[in-house]
């Protein structure tokens, strides 16, 4: 015996009924089957509404909607059914509609709807389904037995939410003596109480009917046919990449359905589990999909997370100020009263140490619950022995379900990472003792985003998103955008999604929270009328709730650097080729580090020294692993490396500088390079990394330009002035040559931390000897690296290498980083 239950969406029109018939035809080849049916889609909702309008408006509006649905069925069936069967069906249905009208009329006269009438009215849809299915199956020649659940399934408890006494029902059903070849049909959602009066099993209760029938008929399988492929890791309407769960244990399925997974009615699994009947969830419109199977698995389950669910429309009650010794007594009193009133709290949290008792209940039970509490706690409230009862409405319970959470350490880490993404306010958190669910209470307005974030933190640990906010689109910034454009697709295949959400320079900006298409960013930027303001950008970032925002600074602006603390306090990482933040006052330098620590953010600036050369990262790694800098010497300027290389070939200083400028190696004003300030800045950054508390003014600079050099000239005059010192320079070079040495512009950190930038005569054995053509070289003499230093060498200037350095910093925001 196999039980197949079809839900409302599988029965929304004649075509779907015919699909169901095909499924039956297929299944009946192997064994006897029973069909349990819901109401056709929407009908139960209309019936529920029709009661409300009958009471309040004294009109039967929704009945028209129902009649229309039925009419459509009947007209579609004209083509399918032989006239005799069709006529009989029409008679049955019309009689049922008349009965329904009568019932609603009674309700409107009474101006209220007693529960027994209510149950009868809302279950009419199931009766329609049975009539229609019976007619279709008959027309196809099936032998049919219809089980009347009012006479056979014995319901106990509330008229609208009864549970079924399995033993009594099984006895009744056994007595039916149904022929083996017959297809059994039974309306879901209905049972009968001891007085043989119809009771309903709670909304969506026909799953439960199917489970009960499976037990009563000792079925091998219970199949629930619906409109999705099975149970997913989250509601696919909320989480687009939710994954189908092929296997669930009974306890996982129970936990999932009680805590909000919509596929199954919560009461369904327990009877199936008790009698060890496997449950299969299938999609009527995708028959061949494997579905989800729920059963006991013989193999021990490894620790897993199965899904994220939510229960919405929850009210949280909070009772506080209780005496420690009073709390248990009071908890007992409250919950015995609550259960007497048939109210069902979903989550209870009690904290004895500070006399707190919180619990959650469905919104529609709020008023009744409040009454119960007010009555029960009357004396305590009157004598101010407890604080006034706090009620928080419109909350949701979000739960993670799985098993053996105690063995799966990173589940809590991932949960909180997910929660951190939208900074959601957690009202309560609870974990059940069997370690298979964790629930948090949050505001209902946060629920969708929270489910998405938790789901992605738990299930897509490999999928990473970076949202970029780029400021500065000169050489480096625009090259970076080109590189990003080329790599975007490739990185997506590696599960890294980089979205460029804003591009700005000092004047203008473009912004798109979903990501700017990089193919024509330049045009879009040119056409933009939006002026750039950092404040506005930060406001947008705050209100848009990004997942992993990164601010990239490719300017050389001091003003922007001064804002880094503010930017970081918006919970975004910073990647900067701009050196200013690391070279201005120590206070800013320290504040930036404090805030990155506080919020666990990254501030990465690998390109501040040696462009793309991995200087900072390596140096930090050395220091973190216990090494200590003894001395440093390096060629830190690409432009000066180029210029000094040319001097060696006999080219004059002014000519070499001009060539460097033409190749784009120098700063816009080449005197900035020749003055040695740029090198001093880089040296300061390194010295600070090594732990020295220095300011830029502490660096001794021996400039290339003599003291009397006029610094207020335009570029043309600057070169004329430079020409005047060509000979002086040439002499210095010749002098060095005599000693078999060459000249280099070097940055030095001495043993005592003293920092100097100056022109040095260098001998052949020195690692800096052969450095030219724009290359940089950095020689670190450390506790571990001596007497031979660790040398890093390579191109230390140019847009491509610098942009690539920024790019790799951007990717490093995804990984764990110690810093110094
Ligand atoms: N038709 C009922 C409802 O919509 C029962 C069911 O579909 O399971 O609640
Ligand atoms: Mg349903």
pLDDT for residue 817 is more than 60 = no
**What is the C-alpha to C-alpha distance for residues 606 and 813, in angstroms, rounded to an integer?**
12
More confident position, 320 or 325: 320
Q: How many CA atoms lie within 13 A of 463 on its CB side?
A: 10
More confident position, 184 or 342: 184
CB of 34 closer than 8 Å to CB of 219: yes
Distances from the Cα of 492 to the Cα of 464, 487, 497, angstroms? 9, 8, 5
User: Taking CA 776 as the corner, what is the angle to CA 753 and CA 662, rounded to the nearest 5 degrees?
Assistant: 125
Which ligand is nearest the CA of 160, by number? Answer: 1
**What is the C-alpha to C-alpha distance for residues 743 and 647, in angstroms, rounded to an integer?**
9
Q: List strand residue ranges (DSSP E) for 653-741, in order.
A: 700-701
Q: Provide the residue count of the chain.
A: 820
Quick one: residue 309, left, alpha or beta (phi over 0 = left, psi -120 to 50 = alpha)?
Answer: beta
Based on its alpha-carbon atoms, the radius of gyration of the chain, rounded to whole angstroms, reads 38
pLDDT at 265: 86
Residue of 149, 146, 151 whose CA lies nearest to 134 = 146
Atom of ligand 1 nearest to the CA of 45: 4
Distances from the Cα of 676 to the Cα of 638, 670, 702, 798, angstroms? 12, 10, 7, 18
Atom of ligand 1 nearest to the CA of 125: 1
- Alpha carbon of residue 718 to chain centroid: 57
Catalytic residue selected from 682, 756, 772, 793: 682
Tokens read off for 449: 């985003």
Which pLDDT band, with edges at 50, 70 and 90, does 461 fall under?
Answer: low
> Domains in the chain, ordered, with CATH?
2-227 (3.40.1160.10), 306-454 (3.30.2130.10), 464-611+807-816 (3.40.50.720), 624-797 (3.30.360.10)
Residue of 254, 208, 230, 242 whose CA lies nearest to 401 = 254
pLDDT for residue 327 is more than 80 = no
Regarding the beta carbon of 203 and ligand 1, being less than 6 Å apart is answered yes
**What is the C-alpha to C-alpha distance for residues 468 and 499, in angstroms, rounded to an integer?**
6
pLDDT tens string 615-639 = 999 999 999 999 999 999 999 999 9
More confident position, 160 or 599: 160
- Alpha carbon of residue 175 to chain centroid: 54
CB of 199 closer than 8 Å to CB of 226: no
pLDDT for residue 154 is more than 90 = yes
Max distance between CA atoms of the chain, in angstroms, equals 120
pLDDT tens string 86-115 = 999 999 999 999 999 999 999 999 999 999
- Alpha carbon of residue 83 to chain centroid: 56
Determine the distance separating the centroid of ligand 2 and the alpha carbon of 2, expressed in angstroms. 20
CB of 344 closer than 8 Å to CB of 395: no
**What is the C-alpha to C-alpha distance for residues 730 and 654, in angstroms, rounded to an integer?**
11
Residue of 699, 665, 707 whose CA lies nearest to 681 = 699
Write down the mean pLDDT value for the chain.
91
pLDDT tens string 715-766 = 889 999 999 999 999 999 999 999 999 999 999 999 999 999 999 999 999 9
Which pLDDT band, with edges at 50, 70 and 90, does 663 fall under?
Answer: confident
Say which residues have a Cβ less than 8 Å from residue 494's Cβ, sequence separation at least 6.
none
697 burial (CB, 10 Å; 0-12 / 13-18 / 19+) is exposed
Determine the distance separating the centroid of ligand 2 and the alpha carbon of 292, expressed in angstroms. 18
Quick one: residue 819, left, alpha or beta (phi over 0 = left, psi -120 to 50 = alpha)?
Answer: left
Atom of ligand 1 nearest to the CA of 202: 9
Give me the sign of the Cα torsion angle 700, 703, 708, 714: negative
Report the percent of the chain where pLDDT is more than 90: 75
pLDDT tens string 207-219 = 999 999 999 999 9
Regarding the beta carbon of 44 and ligand 1, being less than 6 Å apart is answered yes
Give me the residue label for tokens 């407890």: 386
Which pLDDT band, with edges at 50, 70 and 90, does 23 fall under?
Answer: very high
Q: Which run of H or E residues covers position 605? A: none
CB of 696 closer than 8 Å to CB of 681: yes
pLDDT tens string 351-392 = 767 778 899 999 999 999 999 999 999 988 998 888 999 999
- Alpha carbon of residue 622 to chain centroid: 36
**What is the C-alpha to C-alpha distance for residues 805 and 606, in angstroms, rounded to an integer?**
7
pLDDT at 820: 39
Atom of ligand 1 nearest to the CA of 201: 5
Q: Which residues pair with 469 in a beta bridge?
A: 502, 551
Regarding the beta carbon of 450 and ligand 1, being less than 6 Å apart is answered no
Residue of 145, 142, 202, 122 whose CA lies nearest to 20 = 142
Residue 594 has phi, psi (to 5 degrees) of -65, -45
Quick one: residue 741, left, alpha or beta (phi over 0 = left, psi -120 to 50 = alpha)?
Answer: beta
pLDDT at 61: 74
pTM (2 decimals)? 0.64
Regarding the beta carbon of 128 and ligand 1, being less than 6 Å apart is answered no
Report the percent of the chain where pLDDT is more than 70: 96
CB of 267 closer than 8 Å to CB of 215: no
Active site residue 299: no
Determine the distance separating the centroid of ligand 2 and the alpha carbon of 701, expressed in angstroms. 80
**What is the C-alpha to C-alpha distance for residues 249 and 273, in angstroms, rounded to an integer?**
9
Regarding the beta carbon of 402 and ligand 1, being less than 6 Å apart is answered no
Q: Which run of H or E residues covers position 709? A: none
Strands 356-362 and 428-431: what pairing? unpaired
Nearest CA to ligand 1 atom 3: 204
Tokens read off for 404: 């053996």
pLDDT at 433: 64
The total of other beta-carbon atoms located within 10 Å of residue 298's CB is 5
Nearest CA to ligand 1 atom 5: 204
Residue of 158, 240, 150, 215 whose CA lies nearest to 188 = 150
pLDDT tens string 128-150 = 999 999 999 999 999 999 999 99
pLDDT at 409: 59
Determine the distance separating the centroid of ligand 2 and the alpha carbon of 301, expressed in angstroms. 31
Helix (H, G, I), strand (E, B) or coil at 691: coil
pLDDT at 407: 67
Determine the distance separating the centroid of ligand 1 and the alpha carbon of 265, expressed in angstroms. 10
Nearest CA to ligand 1 atom 7: 204
**What is the C-alpha to C-alpha distance for residues 593 and 696, in angstroms, rounded to an integer?**
18
The mean per-residue pLDDT over the stretch 468-488 comes to 96
**What is the C-alpha to C-alpha distance for residues 68 and 73, in angstroms, rounded to an integer?**
9
Q: How many CA atoms lie within 13 A of 740 on its CB side?
A: 4
Regarding the beta carbon of 38 and ligand 1, being less than 6 Å apart is answered yes
Give me the sign of the Cα torsion angle 264, 267, 269, 272: negative
The mean per-residue pLDDT over the stretch 501-526 comes to 94
Which ligand is nearest the CA of 208, by number? Answer: 1
pLDDT at 683: 97
pLDDT for residue 178 is more than 50 = yes
DSSP state of 422: T
Determine the distance separating the centroid of ligand 1 and the alpha carbon of 189, expressed in angstroms. 6
CB of 753 closer than 8 Å to CB of 692: yes
pLDDT tens string 46-91 = 999 999 999 987 777 778 899 999 999 999 999 999 999 999 999 9
pLDDT at 819: 40
pLDDT at 301: 62
pLDDT for residue 818 is more than 50 = no
**What is the C-alpha to C-alpha distance for residues 197 and 678, in angstroms, rounded to an integer?**
91
pLDDT for residue 666 is more than 90 = no
The mean per-residue pLDDT over the stretch 162-176 comes to 96
Atom of ligand 1 nearest to the CA of 39: 1
């Amino acid at each position: 015996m196999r039980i197949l239950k079809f839900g409302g969406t599988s029965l929304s029109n004649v075509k779907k009924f015919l699909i169901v018939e095909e499924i039956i035809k297929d299944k009946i080849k192997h064994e006897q089957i029973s069909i349990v049916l819901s109401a056709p889609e929407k009908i139960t909702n209309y019936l529920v509404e029709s009661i409300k309008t009958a009471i309040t408006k004294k009109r039967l509006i929704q009945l028209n909607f129902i009649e229309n649905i039925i009419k459509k069925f009947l007209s579609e069936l004209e083509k399918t059914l032989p006239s005799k069967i069709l006529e009989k069906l029409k008679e049955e249905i019309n009689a049922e509609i008349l009965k329904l009208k009568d019932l609603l009329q009674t309700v409107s006269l009474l101006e209220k709807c007693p529960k027994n009438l209510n149950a009868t009215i809302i279950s009419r849809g199931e009766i329609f389904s049975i009539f229609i299915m019976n007619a279709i199956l008959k027309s196809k020649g099936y032998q049919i037995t219809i089980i009347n659940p009012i006479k056979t399934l014995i319901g106990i408890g509330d008229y609208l939410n009864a549970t079924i006494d399995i033993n009594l029902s099984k006895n009744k059903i056994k007595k039916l003596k149904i022929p083996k070849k017959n297809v059994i049909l039974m309306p879901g959602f209905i049972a009968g109480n001891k007085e043989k009066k119809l009771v309903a099993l709670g909304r969506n209760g026909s799953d439960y009917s199917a489970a009960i029938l499976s037990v009563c008929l000792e079925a091998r399988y219970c199949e629930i046919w619906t409109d999705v492929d099975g149970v997913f890791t989250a509601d696919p309407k909320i989480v687009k990449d939710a994954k189908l769960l092929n296997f669930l244990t009974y306890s996982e399925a129970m936990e999932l359905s009680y805590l909000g997974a919509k596929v199954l009615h919560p009461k369904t699994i327990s009877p199936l589990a008790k009698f060890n009947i496997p449950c299969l969830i299938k999609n009527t419109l995708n028959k061949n999909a494997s579905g989800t199977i729920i059963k006991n698995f013989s193999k021990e389950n490894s620790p897993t997370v199965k899904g994220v669910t939510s229960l919405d429309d929850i009210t949280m009650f909070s009772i506080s100020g209780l005496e420690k010794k009073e709390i248990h007594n009071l908890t007992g009193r409250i919950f015995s009263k609550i259960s007497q009133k048939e109210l069902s709290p979903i989550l209870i949290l009690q904290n004895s140490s500070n006399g707190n008792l919180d619990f959650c209940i469905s919104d529609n039970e709020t008023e009744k619950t409040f009454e119960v509490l007010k009555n029960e706690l009357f004396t305590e409230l009157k004598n101010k022995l407890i604080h006034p009862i706090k009620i928080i409405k419109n909350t949701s319970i979000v739960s993670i379900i799985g098993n053996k959470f105690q063995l799966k350490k990173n589940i809590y880490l991932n949960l909180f990472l997910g929660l951190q993404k939208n900074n959601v306010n957690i009202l309560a958190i609870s974990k059940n003792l069997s370690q298979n669910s964790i629930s948090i209470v949050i505001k209902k307005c946060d629920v969708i985003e929270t489910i998405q974030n938790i789901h992605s933190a738990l299930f897509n640990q490999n999928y990473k998103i970076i949202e970029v906010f780029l400021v500065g689109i000169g050489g480096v910034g625009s090259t970076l955008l080109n590189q990003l454009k080329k790599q975007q697709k490739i990185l997506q295949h590696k599960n890294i999604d980089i979205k460029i959400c804003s591009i700005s320079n000092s004047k203008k900006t473009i912004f798109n929270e979903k990501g700017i298409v990089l193919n024509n960013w330049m045009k879009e930027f040119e056409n933009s009328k939006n002026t750039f303001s950092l404040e506005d950008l930060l406001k947008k970032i705050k209100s848009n709730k990004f997942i992993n925002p990164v601010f990239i600074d490719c300017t050389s602006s001091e003003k922007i650097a001064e804002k880094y603390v503010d930017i970081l306090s918006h919970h975004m990482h910073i990647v900067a080729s701009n050196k200013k933040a690391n070279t201005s006052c120590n206070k800013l330098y320290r504040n930036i580090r404090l805030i990155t620590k506080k919020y666990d953010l990254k501030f990465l600036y690998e390109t501040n020294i040696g462009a793309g050369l991995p200087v900072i990262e390596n140096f930090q790694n050395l220091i973190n692993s216990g090494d200590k800098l003894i001395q440093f010497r390096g060629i830190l300027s690409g432009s000066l490396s180029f210029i000094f290389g040319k001097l060696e070939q006999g080219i004059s200083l002014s000519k070499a500088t001009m060539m460097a400028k033409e190749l784009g190696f120098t700063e816009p004003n080449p005197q900035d390079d020749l003055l040695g300030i740029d090198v001093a800045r880089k040296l300061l950054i390194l010295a600070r990394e090594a732990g020295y508390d220095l300011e830029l003014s502490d660096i001794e600079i021996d400039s290339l330009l003599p003291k009397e050099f006029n610094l207020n000239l335009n570029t043309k005059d600057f070169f004329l002035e430079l020409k005047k010192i060509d000979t002086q320079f040439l002499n210095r070079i010749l002098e060095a040559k005599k000693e078999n040495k060459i000249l280099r512009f070097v940055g030095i950190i001495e043993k005592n931390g003293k920092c100097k930038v100056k022109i040095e005569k260098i001998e052949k054995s020195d690692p800096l000897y052969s450095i030219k053509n724009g290359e940089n070289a950095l020689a670190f003499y450390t506790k571990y690296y001596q007497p031979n230093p660790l040398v890093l060498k390579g191109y230390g200037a140019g847009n491509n290498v610098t942009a690539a350095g920024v790019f790799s910093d951007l990717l490093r925001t995804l990984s764990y980083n110690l810093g110094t």
